[in-house]
Structure 1
């Protein structure tokens, strides 16, 4: 049982927080990328390109930086 081992519970909470942050960054990155497309098609290139860059950083951080580098190895180690 997880409550009998506080170290395991603490590790699972940290893993859950990493997964939530990765999901939030990825979802926000998708929204920002969609918004950048809207600005680009409206003719506001400066704002659209800036939002595209910010969205790309958010997607990179969410999917690769946290999801692939932190969450996935921990999940595979627990198998």
Structure 2
């Protein structure tokens, strides 16, 4: 295994982990925001909804789509 292939594989692994962590965190933040909004805590619910949306955007679009999918398609 060449050092270039190892570096590429490691970066892909790190991007995959980062995308997964951000996406799961975003889903959890959105779920928590719904709970807070349902209990009448408007400020906390809206804050968590905004944070969740940013995390989902970063995880799904910013990393998974722009970095991982673009890298996979560039290799083929």
Q: Into which bin does the TM-score normalised by the smaller protein fall?
A: over 0.9
Q: Does 1:35 align with 2:18?
A: no
Residue of structure 2 equivalent to 1:24: 21
TM-score by length of 2: 0.95
Pick aligned residue for 2:56 from 54, 59, 63: 59
Report the aligned-residue RMSD: 0.8
Task: Quote the offset at 1:76 in angstroms.
Answer: 1.6
Task: Quote the offset at 1:41 in angstroms.
Answer: 0.2
Residue of structure 2 equivalent to 1:69: 66
In the alignment, structure 1 segments of 5+ residues that lack a partner are none
TM-score by length of 1: 0.92
Residue of structure 1 equivalent to 2:11: 14
In the alignment, structure 2 segments of 5+ residues that lack a partner are none
